[in-house]
Every structure is written in C-alpha cells, then in structure tokens.
Chains A and B, each alone.
Chain A
Amino acid sequence: MLAYIARRLLMLIPILVLISMVSFFVIQLPPGDWVSTYIMNLRTSGINLSDQEADRLTAMYGFDQPEYVQYLKWMQGILTKGDFGYSFQWGKPVNDLLRERLPLTLAVSIFALFVSWLIAIPIGIYSATHPYSLVDYIATFLGFIGLATPGFLLAYILAWIFFRYFNFSTMGLFSTAFLDSPWSWAKFADMLKHLILPIIIIGLPGAGSTIRVMRANLMDELKKQYVITARAKGLSELTLLFKYPVRLAFNPLFSTIGWLLPAIFSGEVLVSIVLSLPSIGPLLLRATLAQDMYLTGSIVLILSTLTVLGSLISDIYLAWSDPRIRYEGTSK
C-alpha cells in the first residue's frame, strides 16, 4: 500500500511539470499580449494610448523577454517563495487575489455540494428501494430536469423572479447599504441571504446526477446474492440496506473526488458570472480573455494539480476501502 502511494506520488512530478509548461505556453498562443488587450480596453473607453506608451508598457512588464525566461522566472517564484506572480489586469499579486476570493468560493462550492448530497442521497436510496413507484417517477423526473437545466439559465430565471416579485437584487454578496460598511452581524446576515440562491442553483444539477448515480448503483447492489442471503438469514430490511448495499453504492461517488476538488476550488463559472459572485471561476475567465498570463497560468496550474491530487486521493481511498481492488496490474 505504502509503496503504491509512493509510486503514485513520484509519477506526479513529471505530470505537474508538464502541466505547468502547458498552462504557461497555451496562454501565449493567441496573437497579442496583455498590453495589447489593455490598450484595446482603454480605446473602447475613449482613451487612445500612443505607440510609445505601448512600447514602454511592453518593456516594463517584461514581454520583450523570451518566453522561456518568463516561464523560468515564474516557476522560480512559485517553487522558492510560493509566489504565483503578478496579475497585470488587477495590478495585484496573484496570491492576494486568490486569498481574497478563496473563502467565498470554498464556502459556496462546499455548501452547494452538501446541499446536493443532502437532497440527492436520501431520494436516490428511496428511488432504488421503491423502483417504479410514483415517488420514484417524480424523483426521476425532477432529477432529469435538474441534470438538463443549465445552471446559468436557472440563475437568470430566478434572478428575474426575485426582482419582479420581491424587488430583491440577487446579485453580488451584499445589499447596496452594506457595500461600504465594515463587517457586522447585519452585514454577515445580509451576505448569507445573498448566498442562498447561488447555493441552490449550483447544488441542483449536482443533486440531479447524484440521484441517478445513487439509484443505479444501489439497484445493481440490491439484486446481488449477498443481499438475498442476508435477507434469508433474517436481517431486518433497514439494517441490511444500510449495512451492505448502500455502503457499496457510495463508492462511485467517492471515486469522483478527483473532479470535485478542482470544481470546489474554482466555483461554478457561469452561475457566478450571472449572479456576480466574486469567486475564482469568473476570475479565471476574465484573466484568460485579457491574456493576463500569470493569473491564468496560476489558476490553471492549481486546478490541474488539484485534479491530479484528487484522482490520487480517490484511488487511494478506493484501494483502501474496497478489498477487491488490487494494487498491481492485472498481468501479474
């Protein structure tokens, strides 16, 4: 087991180096750089920067240096000081930007994840144990709607309903009255009020899929012989259900932790944009559009690292919790 973990960890190193290179160089592929984007933005606001100013900015930010030099400098900062570089767009260190946005992003994503599990797991279990009943049909129907409705559309619709019928702006984290006031309980409560909608919207599609996964897995398990054996031995239905098949049905959920980690870190991009949530997803989108290379590169790097680590955690967890999984390849 330990050897297995060590081997997997060693394999991560070349993968991460490759990821860091790809995340840095892909951003440089489109024509132009951050300076040209910045000048374009100013131009749309009526400010025309002279060519001299553009040359000056290019030299100032080091865009005239070869790309590999820029890359090496960036990696040196990350490895030696944990410094992810500077965001041109925001005029701030990348670390500060992430620090600002991480608490909210984590809060929304994790809350949404649990809301979706809280809704989905009981419904999934009930659906599986009472298949083709009325409740199952309703749950299935709602599950598919949850799966099929894009979150951002739901956000638009709910935002409109809240505006039309409650005259409540769902956008952002705070009401206008609290924007500029220091932290207080009232401001905190106001923030929670604004968080309910995003948590529900982001949680729903997840709930839809979890219902389906839970139901399918559990139904497979329920047909197996150990269930019949246990039942024949006189175990009560409830004990039987939760002691064996439900536990096994969880496995596929936990094996997706690899995808959950990066999702929790970045937050739901489209919904966050629609609802103006200052989370990391919209930050990444903006950075990519503006060719803000260190910011984009850092977020992509962190997301990729989390994906790789998440897969590792899933694998280790499964290997450990399910004795049927072997560490060696099948050929041995």
Chain B
Amino acid sequence: MRKVRFLSLLAVVVLLLAACGGGESAPAAEQPAAVEATAAPATGAVTETTSTTDTAAAAPAADAGAKEAPALAELVKAGKLPPLDERLPKEPFVVGPGVLLSKEDLPNWTPGQYGGTINTAHSVADWAPDVFVMLNEPLLQAPGLSVQDIKGNVLKSFEVNADNTEFTFHLREGLKWSDGEPVTTADVKFVYENVYGNEKISPTGPPARFRNGFDPAGEPGKLAITDDYNFKMTFTKPYGGFLRNLTIEGWNGYTELIRPSHFLKQFHADFAKADELKALLAKANLKDEWWQLYTQNDCQNWNDTADRCIGFPTLNPWLSVKSQSTGVKTFERNPYYWKVDTDGKQLPYVDKIVSVQVEDVEMVNQRVLTGDIDYLRESTGLVKVPLYKENEEKAGFNTVLLDMHVDASALFLNETFKDETWRKLVRDIRFRQALSMALNRQEFIDSIYYSFAALPLTSVGDENSKYDVAKANALLDEVGMKEKDADGFRMGPDGKPFAILLEHGAHAPDLQPSAELVAAQLKEVGIKVNVKRIDSTLWGSRNTANELQATVFWTHDQGWDSGYTGGIFDITAPDWALWHTSNGKKGEEPPAWAKQAWDLDVKRWSSVSGSDEYNKLKEEGYAWSRTNLPVIQIVEGVKYAMIANKKLQNVPQAGFAIAANFAGEQLWYGQ
C-alpha cells in the first residue's frame, strides 16, 4: 500500500513534467496554424508581399525607373492585380517639396526608393499611435499641420461661395478603396444620410463639425449630391472654419464623410437582406440590435490600427494585415494608394510597418537603445535625450528635436470645485496672478525641459509670467490670506488652514516633476500644496466628475492654431463647460468673461481659416487669455524628441514632430 502511495507521488511528478513538456511543444504545435493564417490576409492582393519585400530592400537600384513597388509589379505580372494606371486615380495627389511639410521644415525633400520596414513599438492595448498618425488621411490638408493654405487631400479640390455658406467638393475620379472598389459620392451619401441620419447609429445626428459654426447645437449642413464625383454642403450661416474642420484638426480623417458603403451595407438594416442580416446578428450573439453589429464592423480612422479592422477597406498608405506573432501589429502597402511623388512613383516608399506591443512604456525606450526601433514619437521623452544621444551611434538612429504640438504643463485651478471658500478665492483674479508670479519659470525651463522651452508670453503675458515673490505676497495679503500658521503657511480668507490638493496623472513624463516644482515654489509664498499622483484613468474620471481641485496638464493644440479659449474650461471649470455643452441644462452658468471665450470660438470658427479676419480673432483669443488668466501656463514652445533610423530620408529638422509622423508615406531608406 505504501509503495502504491509513493508511486502515485512519482506519478504526479511525471505528470507535471509531461505538462511541462507540453508547454514547450505548444508553440511548435501552433506552427501550421500560424502559417495558414497568413494565407488568408486582408486583401488578396497583398498576400505575396511578405516574401518579396526583403529582396526589394536589397536591390533598390534595379527599380530606379519603376513606378510601383517591385512586389506589386510582380503581382501585376502574375495577373493578380490590375496595372498601376488602373489603380491610381486620374489625378493622383502629387507629393513633392513643400507639400506634406513646409519647405522651411524640410528643405531638402528628395524622391525616394522602394523597400524596407519601419519597426516601431506601442504600449497601449490594440492602439499604435505612431502608426495611426502615419496611416491617417484627412479629407483636406495643409502642410505641416497648419491651417494656413488648405488644399485637397482625399478630396481633390473645393470651391467656397463668397459668404462661406456653400462648399462644393470634388472627389478624385478613379480613386479606389484598398479592395479595388471605386470611391464615389455614394460613399458620402451613405455616411451623411444612413450613418449620421440614422437615429439608431447616431442618436444625436451629425457631429458638430457638420453644424453651423462648429456648434454641437448648431443646425446641420445640407448635403446635395451632384453626380458620382461632385457634391455640395450648404450651411444656413457663414462657416468659414468648415474647411479647417476637414483637415486633420483633432485627428479626424476621411471617414468623417467617406466610408466604404459597398462593404458596410451588409450590416445596415436599410440595405442588407433581412435573412442575411439575421444570420450575421446571430453570429455576433445579437438579436435585433443591428446598429450594434454595424458599429462593431465599421472602422473610423482612429480604429485603423485595431486588430478588428484588419481587412476593412481603407484609403490609407498601409493596410493592417494579420500578424505572425502575438502582440505585433503589421501593416503592408496599399496597392491602391492614391499619392505619387514628383517622378510619378506610387507611394509609400516603405514596404511595411511593424509595431510591437511593449507592456511598459519605459521599456519602449530600451528598444530604441538596442536599435530595434526605426521610428518613434509618441513614447519618447525629453528627459531621455541624454540616453538617446549616448546610444545613437551604436544603434544607428538620430534624435531629432522638433516642436511639440501641445503646450506642456499648465497649472489648472478648478473654479467650479465644490468648496465655497476655494471658489471665492480662485475666482479672484488677484489670487491667480499671485500664483502665476510666484512661479520661477526659468527653473522649470532649465530643470525639466533642459532649456528647450520658453516663457509663456502668448498665453500669460510678460507681466504675469515674471517671477516676483514680493508682488505675489502683496496680492495674497490683499485677497485676505494675511494670517499665517506656525509653519509659515497662509490661512484661508475664512481663517481656517488652507491647502491645495493637486492631483495629477502620468500622461506625460513632465507632469510629475512639474507638479512637485509647483508645490515647492508656492511654498515660498506660503501656499501649501499637497501633490498626489493618481492613475491617469482615475484622473480622467475625477476631472469629468468635477472632483479635481487643482492639477497640472497640457493646454491647447498649437498645431491647429487652437486658441487658449473655450476648451480650457474642460479642466479649469468643468461645471461651466458642462453648462456650455448642455446648452444651459446642466452644470453652472459661467460669468460673462468666461462666456466671451466661447463667443470668440464661434466667431473664429465662422471665419475662413488662415484669413486676416481669422488671424485677428486668434490674436484676440490670446489677449483674452492674458487678461483673464483662466489657467496658469507654465511654459510654452516645448521641444519633442523624435527617433528616426539614420538611413531614413525626408525626415524634417523643424516643425511639429507629429507633422513629421503624419508625413510617413514620403519616408524612405537610403543607403
């Protein structure tokens, strides 16, 4: 009996060993499955590119005269893909000097060679931001993410009537989806009438950008289809900012107005055959909620890097394809891409993008140092520049210091925080001025931004951004905070101990050091600040729930000339913002000076972006910010580090880093 028990113990060990052996062989057993998976890629056309891309990189000289990538040429030869001239629109978008990026930012644009892979990394689940920016195609565009000099992109061209109410747009004739189907005004009509016009899919109708003055409550524009390639949008009030709203502002894409209706109709109750739709619904575990099925299968531009959108017809330079390894996203060239260079060669130059999921954002940077990354923007840190520089030579990359498209950390004091004493105090502009003057901004610039930043002269102005402890103290005495406790901290105007709870997330690497420096410097004028780092998600929910008393976060998007106006209240006075977005139904009515900001926004949006009137209104917005000090901006003009393989060409030396990222289709590998 005892022997049996001992044997059983051995048996357990053996079983566990066997399980261990099983673990080892498990990946091997997956082999055939993985190979099979690649045999069924997104679009039939790109199947073969996997095997041929490497040879393309090795012999670029051979294709010097070719107008398309060698892998595509072979597919054409094999009869699996129509010839290039049938794939390109009649008038393709021509990329040359000063088109995607301004000539000042990229003075030496050169036409390139086909081949190579861009390796990069992402750290968020199912979301590769650098790849998304490279893929994204807006309806219209202006060089370097500006809104000055807007031109066609996916849309070929446009005309505007004199009072900015009627916009005529022209599609590119012969433009094709990545599955070869033509793009026509049927796709526009589908989005406007069957998606925005369907109350199940869009309960609130078209988004604000298609409404008078970019106002969520404004009257929606009217769409009129002229023929297969021409359509008109009409508004009841002048809406000069409409064009700007169709450029990349806020990272919108062509999906705002054009989606592959030939593909999506099978999920839409207005078009699908009842029995087929029923079968699809049953497969998706749904009963009658066809609109859920529709949304699960529709891919808007920011879904383009998601695994579920593999195989979805797009107009992007690269297409998402099924990857060979877990946690890796692979993108291969779109054979129907509609941009060519000045030599008539179809873009993009680079064959493939591979982005690997890294579980920890810190470890993204280790991949940079070992040379496993050819391009990186989103996850870089200015604080890591010394580390990048040290390893540049060995790992073969360049660290390019470009502009950041958002303004770095500002101090937000919540003016609608639920505390009466606090509200009274923070709504007194003298208090805000005092705090602004108590900040030694030069110390921020030197210690956090390594001098790659400037004083906030645009948003805060000269007087309020000057470091002046004496004046700050005098102002604080004036607002009723003269009394101090035993530790030298000022008491509140109500005579009770006073402290600001500053909660910040970890959205950017400079938030934490900025928050700590703010606390240290305000201590000098007797203001007690308790700093608490919270999870970024929690920060978001606390902000929305109006529970943050104070925080540091970045402010406006310089990239699109967004002003320091209405948007600021989302964080600095959530209840006022809520009042505005709910048309006065919810939240709290803001004072007149705050309402001015939204008026300015509507006026700016109604003017023609880039016009003199527009530029004047933009300046008015900055002046409003300087006068009212809604937030205490700490610095402006921060630099952003971008990593690019030494061999990559057409990498700009100035401008916004994200604009360089956006112009991914013109990158190419030199020798």
Residues of chain A touching chain B, judged by Cβ–Cβ distance below 8 Å, are 30-32, 36-37, 39-48, 50-53, 55-56, 59-60, 62, 77, 83, 89-92, 100-101, 103-104, 106-108, 110-111, 113-114, 159, 163, 167-169, 171-176, 178-183, 188, 191, 247, 250, 254, 272-278, 282, 286, 289-291, 317, 320-321
Contacts and interface: CB of A to CB of B under 8 A. Distances in A.
A261 to B, nearest CB: 11
Given A46-B250, A100-B326, A276-B357, A90 B126 contact: yes
9 nearest A-B pairs in the assembled complex, by CB-CB distance = A40-B540, A107-B23, A103-B26, A32-B541, A91-B308, A183-B31, A52-B204, A169-B370, A278-B327
B324 interface: yes
Contacts of A272: 359
B354 A41 contact: no
Given A31-B545, A163-B369, A276 B325 contact: no
B557 interface: yes
A157 B378 CA distance: 26
A250 B251 contact: no
Contacts of A163: 366, 369-370
B84 interface: no
Contacts of A43: 540
Contacts of B232: none
B361 to A, nearest CB: 10
Nearest to A162: B370
Given A100-B326, A167-B394, A110 B23 contact: yes
Interface string B323-342: 11111101000000000000
Given A103-B30, A174-B325, A32 B540 contact: yes
Contact of B544 (A36, A104, A254, A273): A36
Contact of A41 (B127, B367, B545): B127
A101 B325 CA distance: 11
Of B291, B354, B541, chain A has the most CB atoms within 10 Å of the CB of B541
B536 interface: yes
22 contacts: A45-B132, A46-B406, A48-B250, A52-B202, A52-B205, A55-B203, A56-B202, A83-B285, A91-B306, A92-B308, A110-B19, A111-B24, A114-B16, A163-B366, A179-B119, A179-B324, A180-B50, A181-B324, A183-B27, A183-B34, A254-B9, A291-B537
A278 B326 contact: yes
Contacts of B129: 45
Nearest to A286: B125
Contact of A188 (B27, B251, B394, B537): B27
Of B50, B363, B369, B658, chain A has the most CB atoms within 10 Å of the CB of B363
A90 B366 contact: no
Interface of A is mostly: helix
Of B24, B323, B542, chain A has the most CB atoms within 10 Å of the CB of B24
A232 B504 CA distance: 72
B292 A247 contact: no
Interface string B6-27: 1011001000110110111011
Nearest to B541: A32
Interface residues of B, number: 87
B306 A191 contact: no
Contacts of A107: 23-24, 26-27
Contacts of B9: 247, 250, 254, 321
Contacts of B581: 51
Given A32-B537, A180-B330, A278-B357, A77 B285 contact: yes
A56 B201 contact: yes
Contacts of B487: none
Given A56-B202, A91-B307, A182-B35, A104 B352 contact: no
A48 B251 CA distance: 8
Contacts of A92: 307-308
Nearest to A172: B356
A52 to B, nearest CB: 4
A110 B13 CA distance: 12
A169 B406 contact: no
Given A52-B207, A90-B126, A169-B370, A106 B540 contact: no
